[in-house]
Amino acid sequence: MTDTDPLAAGRRTADELVRLLTDGDPAGADRLLAGIPEIRDLVFVGAGLTAVARAEGRRLPPAQRAQASTQQLHLGALRDAHRDDPEGLRGWLRQAAEEIVLIRSQQAIADRFAG
């Protein structure tokens, strides 16, 4: 993931990871994550996922928003526990991306009931 702007590259990779999981391609998601060898690059992907999860979580109804916020705390602890372990960080990224997929499905349900 060599890029002159590592944050932008991390965000693009984060978006691709979420797309793969949304499309039902967990093997593709695993391949994408396996192709990121550097801890620094894994962390930039995580920053992209965190930004998306927090922004989209704020649009949820209050109960779901609270759950999403709590999940972000758990994901932060998971990240911290694996800060020097690329494989552990890949697991963190996978869970963070799955959380975004969940947030989006919750938002879609809330939108159906509100509309």
Please state the domain extents for the chain. Answer: 6-114
Give the CA angle between residues 64, 67, 68 to the nearest 5°. 85
Higher pLDDT, 111 or 105: 105
Tell me how far apart the alpha carbons of residues 53 and 61 are, in angstroms, rounded to a whole number. Answer: 14
Residues 6+ apart with CB under 8 A from 85: none
Higher pLDDT, 53 or 112: 53
Q: Quickly state the pLDDT bin for 101 (edges 50, 70, 90).
A: very high
Average pLDDT over residues 102-108: 94
Q: Is the pLDDT of residue 114 over 80?
A: no
Q: What average pLDDT does the chain have?
A: 94
Predicted TM-score (pTM) of the model is 0.91
